[in-house]
Structure 1
Amino acid sequence: MNDQRTINIPKFPFLIGDFTLVAITIMLILNMEKPLTPTVVLLSIVGFGLAALIGLVPYLLEFFALVKLNQIRTLAEGFKKLQQLDTVANTIHAATTQWLGVHDLAQQSLQAAKDVTEQITREAQAFRELIQKINDSEKNLLKLEVEKLHRAQADWVQVMIGIFDHIYALYKAAVRSGRPELIDQLTKFQSACRDLALRIGLVPVEADRGDLFDPNQHAPADPNVKPEIGTPILETIATGYIFQNRLIRPVIVKIQTPPEETQSQQLSPSEAQNAKWHLSEFTEPSIDNNKTDSNF
């Protein structure tokens, strides 16, 4: 308190300046014509503001001086405390002793944490084994369901192929009959059925007259005939089928033969039955369950 009383800034000069600015501003307002212009109002505001600021200056200076004095006092007290090295040394020694006790407690806590960690690890391992068993069971169940779906797919594809074979046989019979109306109706009917089958990925394939024989795409109607690659094709006996970009049955075709073999190509009843059997062995689609997954 004694230090604060010694800090006394003279306020008389500031008060004179304050009153002078206020008086000048008031005289300016009174001597101006009414109403006052914006410039006069702005000057009046500036004058009063400066007067207020001048009145606050001595008090602000006293405040800053007191703050500085308190800082100096705080530094002096801190310097005195730093000189008490013995007390600090004793405090450090006591803190070291306490730290050793804390270290022992920390070792005990660490050992307890290790025990808890080992227990959690064992429980986690048991839980992983349980989850693995559940996953294996679900995988086996899903594998069984997929196999069922594959078998069902093979069945309905086989049914579709049988239906299309009958439709193609009707179409060929209409062509042989030579009746344009019947041919046109069966052609449209066959095209509509093939468009529907295309939505599920089943595409019938035919070979045109004059196409060259390719063993990767064609098969002879007579299984005893081994045509050479590039032999001209006379006609399609039964359409081949592509299911989801895989050939599941080649096109059954009749191969063009030399004139001297034409008579030998006339099928006897037993040979016709043999050709029918050869066609039936291509009827069932060979859908590999292991390869079908990539097509769905």
Structure 2
Amino acid sequence: MSDRPATRLARWQSLLPFLIGAAMLDYFAWWVVEKSDHPINIWIGVLALVSVAGAAWCSVYPFVTDAETGAKLEELDKLQSAAHQIQNLEKVANQVTIATSQWQNVQEHNTKAIESAKQVSEEMTQEAIRFADFMKKASDSEKATLRLEVDKLKRTEADWLQVVVRVLDHVYALNRAGKHTGQQNLIEQLAHFQNACRDATRRIGLVAFAPAAGDTFEPGQHQTADGRKDVPDDAKIFETVATGYTFQGQMLRPALVLLDPPKGPLPAQPAVATAPPANAPAEDGSAS
């Protein structure tokens, strides 16, 4: 709202002429009536009434115009308030437009970010696939190399196991030959030597066993020197020709035994089993 007075009544200077005019008209009506002859005629009465009416009009006119001015001022204030609100609405509309534009920009940036994230994700997926293929090829190559090394180690183990068995067979044959000489000192020395060799091989899991004379024949652990198949259940061992062997708890070769006294030359010592259990390497060869 403006700083001007709310109505004209606030400016008394503007009321003064009307008040003076009303007083003069009232005075004029009084003077006319007072100076005229009585009874007064109709024209004098009309003139006095006109003067009084004019005075009344001068007295009322400022208030009427003041009321009209106040109404107009109130309407003007309302129009100004409406205009101010319209300006505020325009500002809000501009702010909404700016916010909408910014939101669109944010939406575009988000869309670009999502697309970039999708591209990065696809690239990472492709890279993971390539890495998995590389690792698979490397693993296959490494497995093949390890498998080759394991095969080499198994062959090497089979070779040294065959050599050790041959040595133990020769030691057992030498011990048997010493027993046939009847020399007690030689027999004891050969027995100590054989025990020392067996103790050394026992540390790597190779155990030699030789059934004593008179023990019961067991098909799983013993084998006849003459190749007999119809061995009775109560058959007794007469002599052990070649020792049997177990490697890491699994049967490697059964002991070669005689059930009856020999009637001719003894056969050669049997070869070590060529198909030992899964945890024992294969062996080929025979002891002399």
Deviation at 1:287? 4.1
* Range with greater deviation from structure 2 (126-135 or 221-230): 221-230
**Distance in structure 1 (CA, Å) of the matches to 2:111 and 2:223:** 83
Q: Is the 8 A contact 1:154 1:285 kept in 2?
A: no
SS of 1:236's partner is strand
Pick aligned residue for 2:243 from 235, 239, 245:
239
**Distance in structure 1 (CA, Å) of the matches to 2:168 and 2:273:** 13
Q: Which residue of 2 aligns with 1:101?
A: 105
Q: Which residue of 1 aligns with 2:227?
A: 223
The one-letter code sitting in structure 2 at the alignment partner of 1:198 is R
Structure 2 length normalisation: TM-score? 0.60
Q: Which residue of 2 aligns with 1:116?
A: 120
Q: Is the 8 A contact 2:251 2:276 kept in 1?
A: no
Pick aligned residue for 2:187 from 152, 162, 183:
183
Q: Is the 8 A contact 1:212 1:233 kept in 2?
A: yes
Q: Is residue 141 from structure 1 mapped to residue 145 from structure 2 by the alignment? A: yes
The one-letter code sitting in structure 2 at the alignment partner of 1:283 is V
Q: Which residue of 2 aligns with 1:204?
A: 208
Q: Which residue of 1 aligns with 2:272?
A: 283
Total equivalences in the alignment: 193
**Distance in structure 1 (CA, Å) of the matches to 2:98 and 2:106:** 12
Q: Which residue of 2 aligns with 1:195?
A: 199
Deviation at 1:197? 0.8
SS of 2:238's partner is strand
* Range with greater deviation from structure 2 (92-101 or 246-255): 92-101
Pick aligned residue for 1:167 from 167, 171, 176:
171
Runs of 4+ more than 6 Å apart: 85-93
Judged with a 3 Å threshold, the aligned counterparts in structure 2 of structure 1 residues 254 and 100 are, in CA distance, closer, same or farther, namely same
Judged with a 3 Å threshold, the aligned counterparts in structure 2 of structure 1 residues 92 and 267 are, in CA distance, closer, same or farther, namely farther
Q: Which residue of 2 aligns with 1:28?
A: none
Q: Is the 8 A contact 1:221 1:254 kept in 2?
A: yes
Could you list the runs of 5+ residues in structure 2 that have no partner in the other structure?
1-87, 282-288
Judged with a 3 Å threshold, the aligned counterparts in structure 2 of structure 1 residues 189 and 88 are, in CA distance, closer, same or farther, namely farther
1:117-159 superposed Cα distances (whole Å, 9 cap, x missing partner):
1122112211211221111111111111111111111111111
Q: Which residue of 1 aligns with 2:36?
A: none
Deviation at 1:226? 3.0
**Distance in structure 1 (CA, Å) of the matches to 2:231 and 2:118:** 79
Judged with a 3 Å threshold, the aligned counterparts in structure 2 of structure 1 residues 154 and 90 are, in CA distance, closer, same or farther, namely same
When the two chains are superposed, the root-mean-square deviation of aligned CA atoms in Å is: 2.7
List aligned pairs for 1:21-40, cutoff 5 A.
none
Question: Larger % of helix: which?
Answer: 1
Judged with a 3 Å threshold, the aligned counterparts in structure 2 of structure 1 residues 154 and 229 are, in CA distance, closer, same or farther, namely farther
Q: Which residue of 1 aligns with 2:133?
A: 129
Q: Is the 8 A contact 1:231 1:255 kept in 2?
A: yes
Deviation at 1:164? 0.7
Q: Which residue of 1 aligns with 2:255?
A: 251
Q: Is the 8 A contact 2:221 2:255 kept in 1?
A: yes
Deviation at 1:162? 0.8
1:194-239 superposed Cα distances (whole Å, 9 cap, x missing partner):
1111121111011122221111111111113431344221221110
Could you list the runs of 5+ residues in structure 1 that have no partner in the other structure?
1-84, 257-264
Q: Is the 8 A contact 1:219 1:253 kept in 2?
A: yes
SS of 2:211's partner is coil
Judged with a 3 Å threshold, the aligned counterparts in structure 2 of structure 1 residues 88 and 198 are, in CA distance, closer, same or farther, namely farther
**Distance in structure 2 (CA, Å) of the matches to 1:112 and 1:214:** 79
**Distance in structure 2 (CA, Å) of the matches to 1:92 and 1:228:** 111
**Distance in structure 2 (CA, Å) of the matches to 1:284 and 1:201:** 16
The one-letter code sitting in structure 2 at the alignment partner of 1:244 is Q
Q: Which residue of 1 aligns with 2:156?
A: 152
